[in-house]
């Protein structure tokens, strides 16, 4: 990556985070895996940012993979040390808000959040977030599809879409890291949860979720402090923490 890339990244990080430790490899297996390994071997300490040009084994939630070809996406991870060992849910919420803010600032577009870790635009998933524990630290990985790959996304990724707004990769990465690190300085700030709720159109809607292999339907009533999804199922209130949700027969059209 050239000097121009570094300069644009540092400029977007702003005064406060301009000196953030970082590396910009052209190609890695997974920026999350790499940072976890480096942190475990005590080769790096938080806060640390890695942005790769391409990932050969990009990781998604629930053991899935994240398509990470060169030239069309932003693949970044931040190693951080949360003040208390908070649930990864909170970091995911903070990351979702940071990415939304950065995209809004860089493109004027307004992605919507699908609980808990996906961002949608024009009904398609344009970003995934994966927060993982790493000893006393956490690694927060963010993948944004900036452009539709030549020839389109593979057929099986029916839900995938891209920003396609000419956003500069390094500027976007710098803004995301800045908003995220700023948010980490004020843990428990209610403004973060508020910003998350405002961007999450699921509230008030019927969803389906899978638990213990069983599909249930529920109405979303809100997002809890720890990032859990508050729902009402058969007249009972409960909080979902890691369930997979879908909108059943409804499309993702509201998530645009």
CA distance 51 to 181: 16
User: Would residue 59 be called left, alpha or beta, if left means φ above 0 and alpha means ψ between -120 and 50 degrees?
Assistant: beta
Give the whole-angstrom CA distance, residue 239 versus residue 243.
10
Task: Please return the burial class of 176, using the count of CB atoms within 10 Å of its CB with bins 0-12, 13-18 and 19+.
Answer: buried
Name the minimum Å distance from CB 236 to ligand BTN. Answer: 29
Nearer to ligand BTN, 51 or 184 (CB): 51
The rounded distance, in Å, linking the Cα atoms of 222 and 230 is: 5
Q: CB 38 → ligand BTN: shortest distance, Å? A: 13
Does 32 interact with ligand BTN (rule: CB under 6 A)? yes
Q: Which of 164, 137, 36 is nearest to 80 (CA)?
A: 137
Site string for ligand BTN, 54-73 (x = CB under 6 A): -x--xxxx--x-x-------
Which residue is nearest to ligand BTN, using beta carbons?
Answer: 128
Q: What is the DSSP letter of 27?
A: -
Residue with tokens 């057929």: 155
β-partners of residue 145 are 73
Size of the site for ligand BTN (CB under 6 A): 20
Piece of 80-88, 136-144, 152-160, 236-244 that binds ligand BTN (CB under 6 A):
136-144
Nearer to ligand BTN, 221 or 247 (CB): 247
- Other residues' Cβ atoms within 10 Å of the Cβ of residue 222: 16
Site for ligand BTN in 94-133 (CB under 6 A): 117, 128-130
Q: By CB under 6 A, is residue 92 in contact with ligand BTN?
A: no
Instruction: Provide the minimum distance between the beta carbon of 128 and ligand BTN in the complex, in angstroms, as a whole number.
Output: 2
Could you tell me the smallest distance in angstroms from the CB atom of residue 76 to ligand BTN?
6
CA atoms within 13 A on the CB side of 128: 19
88 near ligand BTN, judged by CB under 6 A: no
Which residues of the chain form contacts with ligand BTN (CB under 6 A)?
30-32, 55, 58-61, 64, 66, 75-77, 117, 128-130, 141-143
């Amino acid at each position: 990556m050239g000097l121009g890339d570094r300069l644009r990244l540092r400029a977007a990080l702003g005064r406060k985070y301009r000196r953030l430790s970082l590396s910009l490899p052209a190609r890695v297996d997974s920026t999350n895996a790499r940072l976890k390994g480096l942190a475990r071997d005590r080769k790096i300490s938080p806060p640390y940012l890695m942005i790769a040009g391409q990932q050969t084994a990009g990781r998604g939630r629930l053991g899935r993979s994240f398509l990470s070809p060169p030239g069309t996406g932003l693949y970044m991870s931040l190693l951080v040390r949360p003040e208390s060992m908070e649930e990864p849910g909170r970091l995911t919420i903070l990351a979702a808000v940071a990415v939304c803010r950065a995209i809004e600032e860089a493109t004027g577009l307004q992605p919507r959040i699908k609980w808990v870790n996906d961002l949608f635009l024009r009904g398609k998933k344009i970003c995934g977030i994966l927060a993982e524990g790493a000893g006393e630290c956490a690694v927060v990985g963010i993948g944004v599809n900036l452009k539709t790959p030549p020839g389109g996304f593979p057929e099986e990724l029916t839900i995938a879409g891209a920003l396609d707004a000419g956003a500069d990769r390094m500027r976007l990465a710098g803004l995301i890291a800045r908003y995220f690190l700023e948010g980490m300085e004020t843990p428990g700030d209610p403004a973060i949860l508020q910003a998350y709720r405002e961007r999450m159109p699921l509230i008030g809607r019927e969803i389906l979720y899978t638990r213990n292999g069983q599909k249930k339907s529920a109405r979303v009533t809100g997002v809890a402090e720890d990032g859990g999804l508050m729902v009402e199922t058969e007249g009972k209130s409960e909080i979902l923490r890691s369930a997979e949700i879908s909108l059943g027969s409804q499309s993702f059209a509201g998530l645009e």
